[in-house]
Amino acid sequence: MIKGRLLVLALAAGALGLFYVLFFPKPRADSGEIVRPLSSESRPEGYLAVWRWLGEQHIHAVSLRYRYDRLPSLLPKPTGNLLLVTLPQWVPARAAEIEKLEGWVERGNTLLIMAAIHDTPLWSLDADPLLKEKVERLTGLHLETLSAGKADLKALLADRLDIVPRGEYPLLAGVRHITAVSKLPVRNARLNGPDDSIPLELATRAGRGEPTLWLMRRGAGQIILSSVSSPFSNGAVALSDNARFLANIIAWCCGPGATVVFDDAHQGATAYYDGRAFFADPRLHHTIGWIVFLWLALVLSGSRRVRTRWQAPLQNRTDSTE
């Protein structure tokens, strides 16, 4: 009897396990612990400090929770706006989205790209495999990963990157140092400009001369690319002249009544159905666990046999009078 019930339990558990493996995408083991760079995030990796500062300065800010084709409908003005995009993206933008974004910039808006190319925040480990292609398409710069040499060991292990301007530009007025933070070893990579139209290099890494900040014109708009992602995060915006640099960008790029947009959608905060975020939600897996537990309990309880005491069939009795 006990062996039969154990066999039923093993077969039921095996069937559920096979179904889970075949049909349910699995989140990464540490997916619930990674903090994403969101405008609503108060931990060091987020942008909540900048979001609140914009509110204090009466600058309209919007959290983009949709794809880029919905961007124009969220803005009171069609031009003079600023979109802050952090790379790599957790929800990769599609090719059609990139095309819409390029058109939005060319009509007279600014795209600010904070790309984790040299710094290495924890959230960047879940890298977008198309990061290189996106950077090249949007900016024209070619991303090249270099092998680390012995002379670079000290720089690679640094937890901060010091960035200095290359000259006098309105974007860098009053800015002498920009600081990026990196909890993991710094990446050894560089960006090379195209031969036909070299973007304007605004700043370089102190002591190394590697460009880290570029300005590129696109139609009536422009793209600003930073090869470090952390200067405007909660944990770094108060360091060095980071806040001054951000204020310069907004003052130079945004017109009266313009909007600063945070691209939260491609970091996982979407207002539409996203299968990856849905299956990565730990609440879904907890619910499935309880369903499995209750189902197994039902299977075991249903496998019990009804045991009754055997009785011989009743026979007709006749009263005898002796």
How do residues 252-270 score in pLDDT, each as one tens digit? 999 889 999 999 999 999 9
Shared domain check, 251 and 135: yes
Q: How far apart are CA 101 and CA 106, in angstroms?
A: 9
39: in domain: no
Q: Domain containing 135: what range? A: 48-267
Shared domain check, 244 and 294: no
The encoded tokens of residue 258 equal: 């313009």
Shared domain check, 135 and 107: yes
Shared domain check, 240 and 158: yes
Q: Quickly list H helices, 157-306.
A: 242-253, 275-280, 282-302
Q: Quickly list H helices, 140-237.
A: 153-156
End-to-end, the C-alpha distance of the chain in Å comes to 50
Of 266, 288, 306, residue with least CA distance to 98: 266
- Cα–Cα distances (Å) from 143 to 65, 162, 190, in that order, read 28, 21, 6
Chain centroid to CA 276: how far?
12
32: in domain: no
Shared domain check, 18 and 166: no
CB neighbours of residue 13 within 10 Å: 14
Instruction: Quote the pLDDT of residue 192.
Output: 74
Q: Does the structure show a pLDDT above 70 at 227?
A: yes
In percent, the amount of the chain with pLDDT more than 90 equals 51
Q: How far apart are CA 80 and CA 206, in angstroms?
A: 32
pLDDT tens string 98-134:
999 999 999 999 999 999 988 888 898 866 777 888 8
Shared domain check, 249 and 181: yes
Shared domain check, 158 and 63: yes
Q: Does the structure show a pLDDT above 80 at 46?
A: yes
Instruction: Quote the pLDDT of residue 287.
Output: 77
Q: Does the structure show a pLDDT above 50 at 31?
A: no
Q: Does the structure show a pLDDT above 90 at 229?
A: yes
Of 166, 218, 161, residue with least CA distance to 188: 161
How many structural domains is the chain composed of? Answer: 2
The burial class, CB within 10 Å (0-12 / 13-18 / 19+), for 267 is buried
Q: Does the structure show a pLDDT above 70 at 308?
A: no
Shared domain check, 217 and 295: no
